[in-house]
Amino acid sequence: MKELSTTGFISNRGRQIVCSFLVRDMGIDWRMGAEWFETCLLDYDPCSNYGNWTYGAGVGNDPREDRYFSIPKQAQNYDPEGEYVAYWLPQLKSLTKENRHFPGMTYIKQVVPLKFGNAGKYQNHGKASTARGTNFGRQTKGPSLAKKRS
């Protein structure tokens, strides 16, 4: 989000990760994210923007209910050295590369638990959406779904 607010650009993968985090982990209505991107993106295109947000939120023509980008997995695959995250959050440069994605209390207190946990383990599966009770106006599945997937 710092890249987006600073440059007016964010990669497509970044857009999808932000969408997943805001909708799935934070429980924010996808339309708020789409509107924010609309105001910030220099390469804004209504079809691409709203298409990506409806896709990520699991509404519209592709209503897959639980589309989720695991932030730890994405970080491991696409920024294993933590260079990208340290560039946009210079406070993390002093940390070891292994700790840049999960700095713990050395950076800020975690606001919401990630749906699939911080270390790529599935111990927190469902906690964020269960705690909210709803996800953009729909009832979420809750703990029973987590047991089925374990």
Distance CA 26, CA 36 (A): 15
Asked whether the beta carbons of 128 and 28 are under 8 A apart, the reply is no
pLDDT grade, residue 49 (50/70/90)?
very high
Task: Give the angle subtended at the CA of 49 by the CAs of 15 and 11, to the nearest 5°.
Answer: 30
Residue 127: is its pLDDT beyond 50? no
Mean pLDDT within 99-121: 66
Distance CA 30, CA 58 (A): 10
Residue 122: is its pLDDT beyond 70? no
Q: Which residues contact 57 (CB under 8 A, 6 or more apart)?
A: 19, 23, 30, 67, 136
Closest CA to 72 of 133, 5, 31, 25: 25
The predicted pLDDT at position 72 comes to 86
Chain centroid to CA 150: how far?
A: 21
Distance CA 50, CA 43 (A): 13
The predicted pLDDT at position 68 comes to 86
The predicted pLDDT at position 44 comes to 93
Question: In this predicted model, which residue has the larger pLDDT, 132 or 108?
Answer: 108
Q: What's the whole-model pTM score?
A: 0.68
| CA-CA-CA-CA dihedral for 41, 45, 49, 55, to nearest 10 | -150
| Window from 15-24, 26-35, 77-86, 96-105 with minimum mean pLDDT | 96-105
The predicted pLDDT at position 136 comes to 40
Tokens 């779904």, residue located: 145
Residue 120: is its pLDDT beyond 50? no
Asked whether the beta carbons of 30 and 57 are under 8 A apart, the reply is yes
Mean pLDDT within 107-134: 50
Q: What are 73-101's pLDDT values in tens digits? A: 999 999 999 999 999 999 889 988 888 88
The predicted pLDDT at position 116 comes to 61
